[in-house]
Structure 1
């Protein structure tokens, strides 16, 4: 699998990342082990997780598999913190919360450091400089090698990145993890141009449009799908509407012409978007992951890429496109 630099940094990551949101909840440890094995055999290196995935169970599963399947220095672990799990705060990026949850994550992962530590969401109740100070401390103490943000707007990302480059010795923001797919291209308005200018690499979560771009929902909701589960139905419902249906149909048509499954077309499209370091593959089963990994062999013809660009285009106006 090809390796790419993460933004303007020395960290190289595989151009497909392994997501673990379902690990420890919908994906049991045995299936998680099979997923990791297939991913490593394909040449993948970047495992993405978060302290809130399965209330920490995803990190625990990763930690249990490291000794069994791969040496720690052969993989890159990215985790996130900053979403409140109890109390009244939906987001908590205070210094105390971030560093406390990082230490807990390291214990679950069974490691002394993570390769990439990301703030999971912008916390308007905490001064940004306090949040960024926690990232600096994590790097200077050796608990994190690189830092990034997730689900920040363009101005929030730019402010954070600019603050970090204002004085020598601060840890630069090298990654922005954002939802990005043929069904959600909103980051192209401002976030992607800002990331490019600031040397930030984009990690695309839900690159298959929360599973909708696989085409599985064209004739209903399979009983074993996310749309049929109690805790993920609302997550998928966003894209079960007419505009998404037309985009899915375009993907299906392109896939039929190329003789590949629709998910390979959708993943190849997002993988090769300017500014994207890696889409994050969030498969529930090992079989689903194997199908997604086959997209590594596919490069879309220019005319198909253009057709998909056209059918899924987002509107640009003032001030992104003036005149």
Structure 2
């Protein structure tokens, strides 16, 4: 709508789903290539924004030569202006941003030398979070007073415009679209492989084991793509049901938090059990979790805390209830299906 205000949103939605589905059906290499370019665009934009931000903060770039300084960090009410609840409620959206990071582990079966490459990728995640997430947020809240951000529009656009990049809005809009494409692309890849793995164990219908000539699980990719297509339908229907001013993005986005945390709970609990059962192998393992098992329990506590907080937030309460309903249905399916598999 930024470029073509009258264009119905379902048209680009359908086009994107078709293109990404075809790309994921082509080959794993095609998925990797797309993800590389999507990620590169995001990374380059954020790095440029951070550099421009430091220029504004310390050298007054775009601000008449007057450095903005660091005072905006504690001005206008200081830290935690809206109390702990503001910080607490924001966590659900923050956590949702990282759902899917376990995709690194899923790719272990389709990468050369996983012991080296997966280890390198996991260690790199920490630095990427510090630079691209914490770094970008630091620039935004330092350059602009926090209580003006809601009227500012995109702080990325405003930062580039401040240093003289007049076409910033168009650039950022393009980057946001590539970020959405990246999330969709990763979702199709990871979810399709998980369904295939479940089908191998008999916990999903056997037709999901169908593989095309390129070694791609055909029906799992198609099933996930159809599932994503429901997002297009929701985009059309929900504004008429809940009202045009309803923050549909928060509802849909936060609905993924609880189901998305299930793999994290499973990984943390499985790791605790693994360390107990395989204590001798763990002692000489080349890639250990720092502080385990204490860090496992702290992580589980943090996840539960976020979920409890979502129940007290009006905007995320419905989403957490939808997530609970989804897990109940999944559990019923599992209970009904698994005894048949074991027999």
Which range, TM-score by smaller chain? under 0.3
Return the TM-score normalized by structure 2.
Answer: 0.25
Greater share of strand: 1
Greater share of helix: 2
Higher CA-based Rg = 2
Return the TM-score normalized by structure 1.
Answer: 0.26
